[in-house]
Amino acid sequence: MIPELSNPSVCMRDPQRVQEILQSMVKAGSNTVQVISDFDMTLTRFAYNGKRCPTCHNILDNSNLISTDCKIELKELLNTYYPIEIDSSRSVEEKLPLMVEWWTKAHKLLVQQKIRKDLLAMVVQESDAMLREGYKLLFDHLYEHSIPLLIFSAGIGDILEEVIRQAGVFHPNVKVFSNYMDFDESGELRAFKGELIHIYNKREGALLNTGHFQELRTRPNVLLLGDSLGDLTMADGVQDMENILKIGFLNDKVEERKQSYLDSYDIVLLKDETLEVPNAIMLYLTGNN
Ligand code: TMP
Ligand code: MG
């Protein structure tokens, strides 16, 4: 067994099953593996020194590109809808239209701010965005071993790309599905492109991108990283899947949500701000353990 799976943050419903999946994947070889990961609160930290870290949306919300009035409105949206996002007493069916409402209202407010494309790099630079500890090993090792990494995010693609670019890990094996900004000729935000990706429609997003999964059809073994139950459908577009190992970060409302996470993720990481466990698994799969 991988020693890191005995870390105090690790919970598993069925450790034997995890072991079987890992063995089957290692036997198939790392050239049959692909990684699919959420971004906000999965690749990025949830908190640092007791303070919450920003999501892609929060990076913009907190910046000086947004007027004070708009900041207040965005904060109100966050205070209204985030508790719904993490409410374990409501079903996905109940939450889904409310999440669409959150994203739609937030994007409308952002578009009204006429955000300039050329200022995004500075906004990210000045933000408190933080990738989880161990991110460099994860990104660099996947690149060195030519393992594709799909970052599948309901955040904002332009911001997300800038975070990983500035961290020096936006390697050619990284592909991003997210909400991208649409700028006019003068470089001002006028809309968001394509179909909206929110927290509960990643399955639909995956099925719209058959071309990507077709290209990766020789990689039927999937390592999935997420922090929300909505992230579990990110691999629904994978063709002829053989094995999937789902790793879930449980960041908030741990006691209330633990059982539902254990029921759906193979490995649940409780308040773990590091990528130590995913990294140990990746090293195991590539024979570097
Ligand atoms: P994801 O991590 O599943 O890709 O989802 C993106 C996160 O963005 C989700 O946890 C909610 C958060 N969010 C904000 O922080 N502010 C917003 O305005 C919106 C629409 C989402
Ligand atoms: Mg997330």
40: nearest Cα among 68, 82, 12, 98: 82
pLDDT of residue 1 exceeding 90, the answer is no
Judge if the beta carbon of residue 11 lies within 6 A of ligand 1: no
| Residue closest by Cα to atom 12 of ligand 1 | 55
Judge if the beta carbon of residue 38 lies within 6 A of ligand 1: yes
Class of domain 3-48+130-286 (CATH, top level): alpha beta
Contacts of residue 216, defined as CB under 8 A and 6 or more positions apart, other chains included, come to 34, 148, 238, 239
Residue 116's pLDDT is what? 98
Contacts of residue 143, defined as CB under 8 A and 6 or more positions apart, other chains included, come to 171, 172, 173, 174
How far apart (Å, rounded) are the C-alpha atoms in residues 98 and 268?
A: 26
How far apart (Å, rounded) are the C-alpha atoms in residues 259 and 88?
A: 10
Judge if the beta carbon of residue 81 lies within 6 A of ligand 1: no
Taking residues 13-28, what's their average pLDDT?
A: 98
pTM, full prediction: 0.98
Taking residues 189-213, what's their average pLDDT?
A: 96
Judge if the beta carbon of residue 155 lies within 6 A of ligand 1: yes
Atom of ligand 1 nearest to the CA of 231: 3
Q: How far is the CA of 43 from the centre of ligand 2 (A)?
A: 8
Judge if the beta carbon of residue 103 lies within 6 A of ligand 1: yes
Does the domain made of 51-126 have the CATH classification 2.60.40.10?
no
Judge if the beta carbon of residue 154 lies within 6 A of ligand 1: yes
Q: For residue 124, which phi and psi values (nearest 5 degrees)?
A: -70, -40
Q: Which tens digits make up the pLDDT trace of 260-282?
A: 999 999 999 999 999 999 999 99
Taking residues 39-45, what's their average pLDDT?
A: 98
Q: Which tens digits make up the pLDDT trace of 120-176?
A: 999 999 999 999 999 999 999 999 999 999 999 999 999 999 999 999 999 999 999
* Active site residue ranges: 38, 40
pLDDT grade, residue 288 (50/70/90)? confident
Q: How far is the CA of 240 from the centre of ligand 1 (A)?
A: 30
Taking residues 33-49, what's their average pLDDT?
A: 98
| Residue closest by Cα to atom 14 of ligand 1 | 57
pLDDT of residue 196 exceeding 70, the answer is yes
Q: How far is the CA of 58 from the centre of ligand 1 (A)?
A: 8
Strand partners, 274: 133
Q: Which tens digits make up the pLDDT trace of 80-100?
A: 999 999 999 999 999 999 999
Report domain extents, the chain: 3-48+130-286, 51-126
| Residue closest by Cα to atom 5 of ligand 1 | 154
Burial 248-280 (b: 16+ CB within 10 A, else e): bbbbbeeeebeeebbeebbbbbbebbbbbbbbb
Residue 289's pLDDT is what? 56
Q: How far is the CA of 177 from the centre of ligand 2 (A)?
A: 13
